[in-house]
Structure formats: structure tokens, C-alpha cells
Structure 1
Amino acid sequence: MKKNKLGRSELLVGEIGFGCMSIGTEEDKALKLLHEALDRGINLLDTADLYDAGRNEELVGKAIKGRRSDVILATKVGNRRLPGQEGLAWDASKAYILSAVKDSLKRLGTDYIDLYQLHGGTLDDPIDETIEAFEQLQKEGVIRYYGISSIRPNVIREYVSRSRIVSVMSQYSIFDRRPEEEVLPLLEATGIGLLARGPVASGMLTEEGESKLSKGYLGYSEEELRRFRSEIVSAVDRPLAETALRYPLSSTGADCVLAGASTPQQLRANIAAVASAPLSDTERAAIRSAVPANVYAQHR
């Protein structure tokens, strides 16, 4: 599998990474899926302390035992559970990050994390304090690099200008072209990498996903989504999922597309898709003609 340097880091990541949230909690099934992903050339595993209340990190940790050096391990921090309180609380404080990383390391069965990411963020956060936590962990060798996972352009700008993040994880697909207007040019200009998540738009950009269009997506109606899908299928002579997975990779600055899989068949299809030829300029233009660029409005 082709590998790209993630931003300004020394991390070489495959064009497709595994979004581990999809593996479920059944150990045997999850481990077989993760082992097959690694055996087939995927080297970036992305998890979070939030997923399945830490169980996801535990399973990833078991899967990489004995092959840690072959894996680029990414996880996230910022959402915490408070005793006696329903739901999650957001905490980007230095104290919490320095505490939470210890729990993640224990669950993952490792003494370092390749890419530690803030799992969200707002302008109301103590951003300098948050950055201090990541910088301290990097200096101590607990993490190799840090980044943020965000769809808020204004937050991304703050971290780009005030920190040494090497990557931004952001939702980016044919149906969600919002990063193209504000985020991608900024990352390209500063040498920061993009990890593109959600490439198949909750399954809508797959051959089996037509039934999901009735839910709508990012303000698009079912009718609009059906028209987009039809025009893409007519204009691009590839399987729809292949087109969807290759689209973010055709953008300058996109180093890796993160795709989840809950079955071996989905995993193999994802890997086959990125093994195909890159989109041509003609294909990319046809896609952009079929689906208008949307912009960030609510999340800033």
C-alpha cells in the first residue's frame, strides 16, 4: 500500500487507515478484523478513549501485541465520564489530558502513542493549557506527535497558529466538501496533514447505501442526494465506494482516508478501493460538477 508522510511528522501512514470505532465489542471478531487489516497493509489504527467506554482501546491494544513497531497508533482525548453523571463532559484541561493519557496507555498496552489527538474542541477551551499538555507529553516521550479532530474552522485556525500539531482529522467526502473552502488551503499552506474521516458519508456513498438516503445529510434532501449519486455513477466509471474513498485522497494535503469496517468483506473492499488508480482530473471535475461545495455554518 502506498504510504504518505503525515504532515510535517516522520509518520508514514498508508493511504487508508482503519477507523476502529466500527469493530464492535466481541473480542474474537474484532481481533480477527484488526489482524487482517494489519496483514493486508493498513498501518494506521485510529481509536479513542470514548469508544465503547474504553473497550475499543483495549481491543486495539490486544490486536497490536507483538507487532507494535508495525503500527501507527492514534487515539483521542477530551470526553470524560463523571461519576454519578449521565452522558459525557468535555474537558480539554491540562490536568485531565495528563491523567487520561495514562489510562489510554494502560488499555492500549503500550508505553507511547504515535498520534494523540484532541477529540473536538471549542474557542472557549483553555487552548494554551491544552497545548501545554500535549507539548509536555511529547517532551516526555509519551506521545510522538499530536493533532486535533475537529470540523470547526475557527478552532483549527487557532491550533494551526498556536501549536505544533501535525494533523487535523476532519469529516470530508463527496457529500461533505466543506473542508475545501477553508481547511484544506490552510493545511496545505502550513504543511499540516489531513486525516479524512467519513469518506462514504455514513454508507450513503456505497452500492448498498441507497436506502440510507431517506435520512438526508447535512441539509441535503433525499431527492438531492439521489440526484448526486446518479450523476456520480453516470460520470465516473468505477464502483461508487471506490470513487468515494479515492475522492479525499485526490485533494492536496489529504494524507490518509480513514474508513471503518465491521466485516472482513467491507475491509477488503476498502483496501481494494484505494489500491485502484487515483482519480483523474476529469473524474474529479465531474464529481465536483455533480455535487456542489457546501460550507461550514453551524460549527465554527
Structure 2
Amino acid sequence: MPVADVRLGTGEHALNVTSIGYGAMSIAGAYGRIAEDAALDLLHHVEERGVNFIDTANIYGDGVSEQVVGTFLRDRRHEFVLATKVGIEKGGGVGQRRARGDAAYIREQVDLSLQRLGTDYVDLYYLHRVDPEVPVEESAGALGELVEAGKVRAIGLSEATGEEIRRAHAEHPVTAVQSEWSIFARDVETYVLPTCAELGIGFVPYSPVGRGLITDHFTPDALGEGDGRHNFPWFQGENLAVNQNLAEQVRAEAAAVGVPAAGLALAWLFAKAAELGAVIAPIPGTRYAQHWDELQAGLGQDGAGVGLPAGTMARLDALAEQVRGERSFSPDWVSGGREGLIPRP
């Protein structure tokens, strides 16, 4: 399973990473429990597949994900490009937390993350959400100060609007923007991706398989008690039945191409990114080694994406308009909502 290298950002703050990274929210129990030894085995599996890019955040499991990643990296820190995030305060769970991006909070939280990760620097430090009460310039400036202090190599933004990206980039060069993007979630194509392409900023899609919906394994019965997906409209009530039917159409297209559905979802991302002139490094997450291999099958023989027939792309492109429900529990929580692309309830 070859993996190509891509370059996120430009100039002195650019980062070379594998074209796919591991999203470590899954090892913090977001979609069900996973023991630490199983999580470490999975990270070793990802390493064996040639991947050197790991993405986590201080909020995942209230630090659990960072701690597990830190344990994994103990003897191999310099072999990996490590990303983590700041900007979501602890609260009562999904939908009950708030964004916080003031400079004092950012300075405080980076040291806590470094301690959990067992390292003295992170390669990429994201503002996890833009704080509506703090100018994004202040947050970007605080992140830039951490670069100057040697605690961070490059900065990023998560779920920022096109305008917010421009404002932050003017304060300090932004290396990567992370937002949800998949066959079913397309709002970033309007403003965010064109802005990244214009400014030379890398794009890191999270949830590229729709939180597991666009895979060969998802069934409604998979949503156990405590599964965070219960909070998202896609997985609620009648929406789920409609979206499950759309996922079945993706599975049929995948079977015709000869790749797993998760692999097809990634191949579609790489093809669409090429159309838009964007450099991407998706960060899917999973708790299972087999599922990781299905994801990586979408990279193809050159490690940069399976080529898809025009007809397949057209049929997949048409599915987003049929998806029932929105991708987030709150429009304000994601870039498309603040850009007027995701309707309010």
C-alpha cells in the first residue's frame, strides 16, 4: 500500500506529510470504547502501512487521545508529523461546549498538550474552532507566538470560513485548514477550498467517510449507547434511513470500481481536490485495522488516489443534494453555517 507525500502550506512553515493521516479522535471513545493496548496496536498498524501523519486534539476524550498518542510516539517522535488542537473548552458533551480562542487560553493549553503528548513541540497546532468573541487575528497571533517560542512548527485552523482564513493568514502564515469534507458534505467547496488553493494553504479533510456512514460496515444498529453520532442530524430519525440508502448507492459504485466503499470515498476526495487545485491530506479515523486498510485502498497504486471514471464521479457528485439533515448539530459550529451555506433549523 504505497502512500504519496504531499506538502501542506508554503515557505518556511510548510510541512511534508503522507497523503493520508490518522485521525485519533476514534481512540478516545467517540464511537465506542477501545482499550489503550488495542489503540496502540492500531497506531502501529497505521505506521506499518507507511503513514507518518497523526492528528489529535486536547478535547478528544478530555486528553485521552493525546495521552495514547504520546505513549505511541515515545520512541519514534521524530518519525511522525504530529498535529493537535486548541480552542474548544470542556463542557457537557457534544453541542454543549464552547469555542475559546483568546491568547491566554492558547498559551495555557499548549503546555498541557505537550505534557500529555510527551514532547516539547508539535508540528501543526490548530485553532479547533474560531471563537465568536475573539478576533481571529488575536488567535492566529497567539499561535504564531508559539512558533517563535519553538513549541509549534506551523499553525492551522479548523472549520474557519474563507474570510476568517484570509484574516488569520494575514496575521501569521496558515499551513493547513481542517474541515469536514466528503461525498455527503460539500459546503467547503464554495469558499473554503478556493481560498486555500489561492493562498497555498493545505487542506485536511476530517470525517471523509461521513463518520463511518460511507463504508461497507455501517448499519443503524452500529450506533450504540454513548455513540457521539446520535448528536448529528444525519443519524437521527428518518434522516438515517434516507442517508443509509444513499450510502448503499456509494457501496454499489465502489463494487463496480473494485474498491471498498471507504476507499472510494477517499479516491473521490483526491479527484475532487485535483479539480479544485487543492492539496489535501485526509485524516480518517477508525478503531479497526481492517477498516484502515479499506480506507487506504483508495490511494491506488501511486498512493495518491484511485482514478475514477467520469460517470462514477458524476453519480457520486449528485448524492450530496439528496442527503437528509445537516452535517453539524449547530450551523454556527462549522464554516458552512457561518457562510450561509447550511440552513438554520
TM over 0.5: yes
Q: Aligned to 2:314, which of 271, 285, 295?
A: 285
Question: Does the CA-based 8 Å contact 1:228-1:291 persist in structure 2?
Answer: no
**Which residue type is aligned with residue 287 of structure 1?**
L
Give the structure 2 partner of residue 68 of structure 1.
Answer: 77
Deviation at 1:210, TM superposition (A): 4.5
Give the structure 2 partner of residue 265 of structure 1.
Answer: 290
**Which residue type is aligned with residue 147 of structure 2?**
Q
**Which residue type is aligned with residue 280 of structure 2?**
D
Q: How far apart in 2 are the matches of 1:247 and 1:172?
A: 11
* More divergent stretch after superposition (220-229 vs 121-130): 220-229
* More divergent stretch after superposition (31-40 vs 65-74): 31-40
Give the structure 1 partner of residue 342 of structure 2.
Answer: none
Secondary structure, in 3 states, of the residue corresponding to 1:166?
A: strand
Give the structure 1 partner of residue 175 of structure 2.
Answer: 166
Q: How far apart in 2 are the matches of 1:199 and 1:178?
A: 13
Give the structure 2 partner of residue 7 of structure 1.
Answer: 9
Give the structure 2 partner of residue 22 of structure 1.
Answer: 26
**Which residue type is aligned with residue 181 of structure 2?**
Y
Q: How far apart in 2 are the matches of 1:175 and 1:248?
A: 11
Give the structure 2 partner of residue 243 of structure 1.
Answer: 264
Question: Does the CA-based 8 Å contact 1:196-1:254 persist in structure 2?
Answer: no
Secondary structure, in 3 states, of the residue corresponding to 2:194?
A: helix
**Which residue type is aligned with residue 37 of structure 1?**
V
Q: How far apart in 2 are the matches of 1:233 and 1:29?
A: 28
Q: 1:233 to 1:255 in 2, by over 3 A?
A: same
Give the structure 2 partner of residue 124 of structure 1.
Answer: 133
| 1:47 maps onto 2:51 in alignment | no
Secondary structure, in 3 states, of the residue corresponding to 1:270?
A: helix
Question: Does the CA-based 8 Å contact 2:15-2:175 persist in structure 1?
Answer: no
Give the structure 1 partner of residue 226 of structure 2.
Answer: none
Cα-to-partner distance string for 1:138-181 (whole Å, 9 max, x where unaligned): 11211100001115444334324443111100000000011111
Q: 1:98 to 1:23 in 2, by over 3 A?
A: same
Q: 1:160 to 1:126 in 2, by over 3 A?
A: same
Question: Does the CA-based 8 Å contact 2:161-2:192 persist in structure 1?
Answer: no
Q: Aligned to 2:247, which of 219, 229, 236?
A: 229
Question: Does the CA-based 8 Å contact 1:204-1:213 persist in structure 2?
Answer: no
| 1:255 maps onto 2:280 in alignment | yes
Question: Does the CA-based 8 Å contact 2:187-2:336 persist in structure 1?
Answer: no
Q: Number of matched residues? A: 296
Question: Does the CA-based 8 Å contact 1:77-1:117 persist in structure 2?
Answer: yes
Deviation at 1:124, TM superposition (A): 2.9
Please report the RMSD computed on the Cα atoms of aligned residues, expressed in angstroms.
2.8
Give the structure 2 partner of residue 144 of structure 1.
Answer: 153
**Which residue type is aligned with residue 246 of structure 2?**
F
**Which residue type is aligned with residue 24 of structure 2?**
C
Q: 1:34 to 1:227 in 2, by over 3 A?
A: closer
Q: 1:28 to 1:239 in 2, by over 3 A?
A: closer
Deviation at 1:265, TM superposition (A): 1.8
Q: How far apart in 1 are the matches of 2:221 and 2:164?
A: 31
Q: How far apart in 2 are the matches of 1:151 and 1:89?
A: 15
Deviation at 1:204, TM superposition (A): 1.2
Q: How far apart in 2 are the matches of 1:223 and 1:292?
A: 16
Q: 1:285 to 1:254 in 2, by over 3 A?
A: farther
Secondary structure, in 3 states, of the residue corresponding to 2:184?
A: coil
Q: Aligned to 1:102, which of 75, 96, 111?
A: 111
**Which residue type is aligned with residue 261 of structure 1?**
T
**Runs of 4+ residues over 6 Å off in structure 1:** 212-215, 293-296
Q: How far apart in 1 are the matches of 2:70 and 2:336?
A: 38
Q: 1:152 to 1:287 in 2, by over 3 A?
A: same
**Which residue type is aligned with residue 243 of structure 2?**
L
**Which residue type is aligned with residue 280 of structure 1?**
L
Give the structure 2 partner of residue 298 of structure 1.
Answer: 337
